[in-house]
Amino acid sequence: MIRVLICDDHLIVREGIKQILAEAEDLRVVGEAANGADALRGVRAGREAGQGPDVVLLDIAMPQRDGLDVLKALKSEFPKLPVLMLSTYPDRQYAVRSLKLGAAGYLNKSADSEQMIDAIRQVARGQLFITPSVAELLAGAVGAGGRHAVDDAQPLHERLSHREHQVYQLLAAGRSVGEIAEQLVLSPNTVSTYRARVLEKIGVRNDVELALFAVRLEQSAGPA
C-alpha cells in the first residue's frame, strides 16, 4: 500500500485527487494539507507515528509558503521522501526548477487520472517521473554544456523564486505594493522585500524599468 499526503490549498482540488486515488487499490490517502506548514507537520507527525506518507503530492502555488520552498524543506529533512509536484503553470516555467530542487516528478493538473496514478506508483518505486514535454525541457537544459552552464545561462526572470515571480508579474502589471499584499495575503513589508529581490535579480532600478523588461521579454518570446 502506497500512503499519500495531498498538499493543495484548494479543498475542491484535494477532494478531486482523493476521488482519483480511490480508484487504485494500492493507493491510500493518509493526510491532507492546505499550506506548506501543515504539509511539514503532517509528514513529521506521520513519521513519528510510524505511518508517514510514502509520497507527497505538493502544489506549487500556495499561500504563505510556496511549494518550492516547502520542497526544499522536505528534501532537507526527509531526503529520501518522493515529492511529486503539481501545478497549473506551463511545464517550462517550473518543471526543471522543481527537479533540480529534488522533486521526484512534475505533473500538470491537466493530466488525466491514469497518468497521476502511474506517476505516484513510479516515484514510490524510487524512479523519476518525467512527461515527454518535461524530458524535452531537461534535454535542452543540459544540452548546452552541463548543469553549471545551464545555471550560468539561465534567463534572469527564471532565477526568481515562485513568490518572487508572482510579485514580478503583478508589479509589471502596474499593481502597487499594497494591492499585491492584499492579493497574495502578505504584509506590505514582505512584498517590499520581494520587490527589492526582484529588482536586484533582474537588474533594474525601479518599477518602470521592470515593466519595460517584461514587455521586451514578452515580445521576444512571441506566440506561446
Residue 146 counted as domain residue: no
Q: Considering only CA atoms, which of 52, 36, 75 is closest in space to residue 2?
A: 52
User: How do residues 90-127 score in pLDDT, each as one tens digit?
Assistant: 666 678 888 888 999 999 888 899 999 999 999 999 99
In a domain, 103, yes or no: yes
| pLDDT (0 to 100) of residue 139 | 67
> Which domain range does residue 170 map to?
155-221
**Residues 215, 205: Cα–Cα separation, whole Å:** 16
The number of domains in the chain is 2
Q: Are residues 209 and 112 in the same domain?
A: no
Q: Domain check: are 160 and 210 in the same one?
A: yes
Asked if residue 171 and residue 79 are part of one domain, the reply reads no
H helix or E strand, kind and range, residue 172 = helix 162-172
Shared-domain flag, residues 133 and 169: no
pTM: 0.69
Residues 14 and 124 in one domain: yes
Judge whether 73 lies within some domain.
yes
- Band of pLDDT at residue 224, cut at 50, 70 and 90: very low
> CA of 170: how far to CAs of 14, 59, 148, 164, 174, in Å?
27, 21, 30, 10, 7
Identify the CATH number of the domain in which residue 188 sits: 1.10.10.10
Q: Domain boundary residue among 141, 166, 198?
A: 141
Question: Of 88, 118, 141, which marks where a domain is finished?
Answer: 141
Are the C-beta atoms of residues 43 and 79 closer than 8 Å to each other?
Answer: no
CATH number where 54 lies: 3.40.50.2300
Query: Which pairs count as long-range contacts for 188-195, CB under 8 Å and 24+ apart, including other chains?
Result: 191/167, 194/163, 194/164, 194/167, 195/167, 195/171
What's the mean pLDDT in 80-92? 86
Q: Is residue 150 part of a domain?
A: no
Q: Is the pLDDT of residue 89 over 80?
A: no
For residues 186, 192, 194, 196, the Cα torsion angle rounded to the nearest 10 degrees is 180
